[in-house]
Chains A and B, each alone.
Chain A
Amino acid sequence: AQSVTQPDIHITVSEGASLELRCNYSYGATPYLFWYVQSPGQGLQLLLKYFSGDTLVQGIKGFEAEFKRSQSSFNLRKPSVHWSDAAEYFCAVGAGSGKSTFGDGTTLTVKP
């Protein structure tokens, strides 16, 4: 069975600082990997996804993520955080069947 671990429940960064959110997955084959963002009171929105090919993927809002098979990781990064990035971020792994397993989420707080 597939699983996702987001080790950091809550992260606080200063506006303009860089950001890295960690995600580790467990899956027997090549996974489909996703990062979603959830603003307060809203549903989830896709930031980026990885299926195959280049292991560094670009997403919306200036986010990127790198797939590292050897570390079973898919960490999300942003060079310079904006106050509007404050939200909850979910990593998810899928098997290509449509169903995805979600991590427990990381809440990002941005200090002015």
Chain B
Amino acid sequence: NAGVTQTPKFQVLKTGQSMTLQCAQDMNHNSMYWYRQDPGMGLRLIYYSASEGTTDKGEVPNGYNVSRLNKREFSLRLESAAPSQTSVYFCASSETGVEGTDTQYFGPGTRLTVL
């Protein structure tokens, strides 16, 4: 049981390049999330997916797109990277719809630098 996995762990991009961050979970969770973490700003929600086939914008969606490929996988795409997108990106999942849950399980993160 690997939990939540993310690839790659590190990435350096040039301004204007595109890339996709991959996330997969093996806990059969309904919901998945993408966050970015910047110093002193905590975690900010980029996009989330409450269930397979649905996605919704979070707090900071501009410049990003997502795909919920199936129940296990949720990818984040940067179409044209900008230096402001330099950050650490975390994927998380949770089991929702059940009283007393909503605990989020996090991946190890992707450290992205845009030059």
Q: Which residues of A approach B to under 8 Å, CB–CB?
A: 9, 32, 34, 36, 41-46, 49, 51-52, 90, 92, 94, 96-100, 102-105
Q: Which residues of A contact B108 (CB under 8 A)?
A: 41-43
User: What are the nearest 5 A-B pairs in CB distance?
Assistant: A43-B106, A98-B96, A104-B42, A98-B31, A102-B43
Would you call the interface of chain B mostly helix, strand, loop, or mixed? loop
With an 8 Å Cβ cutoff, the count of chain B residues facing the other chain is 26
Minimum Cβ distance to chain B for residue A18 (Å): 25
- The answer on a CB contact under 8 Å between A102 and B40 is no
Are the CB atoms of A51 and B100 closer together than 8 Å? yes
Known: A42-B109, A92-B104, A105-B42. 11 other contacts (CB 8 A): A34-B103, A43-B4, A44-B43, A46-B104, A46-B105, A96-B102, A97-B96, A98-B48, A98-B94, A98-B96, A102-B42
Contact of B102 among A9, A42, A98 (CB under 8 A): A98
Residue pair A44, B48 in contact (C-beta under 8 Å): no
Question: B residues within 8 Å of A by Cβ?
Answer: 4, 30-31, 33, 40-43, 45, 48, 50, 58, 90, 92, 94, 96, 99-100, 102-109
Q: Which residues of B contact A44 (CB under 8 A)?
A: 43, 90, 92, 104, 106
Task: Enumerate chain B residues within 8 angstroms of A103, measured Cβ to Cβ.
Answer: 42
Tell me which of A32, A52, A90, A96 contacts B43 (CB under 8 A): A90
B48, A99: Cβ atoms closer than 8 Å? yes
Q: With a CB–CB cut-off of 8 A, which chain A residues contact B4?
A: 43
Could you say which of B30, B42, B99, B106 has the most chain A C-beta atoms within 10 Å of its C-beta?
A: B42
Q: Is the CB of A99 within 8 A of B40?
A: no
Known contacts A98-B31, A104-B40; decide if A43 and B102 are in contact (CB<8 Å): no
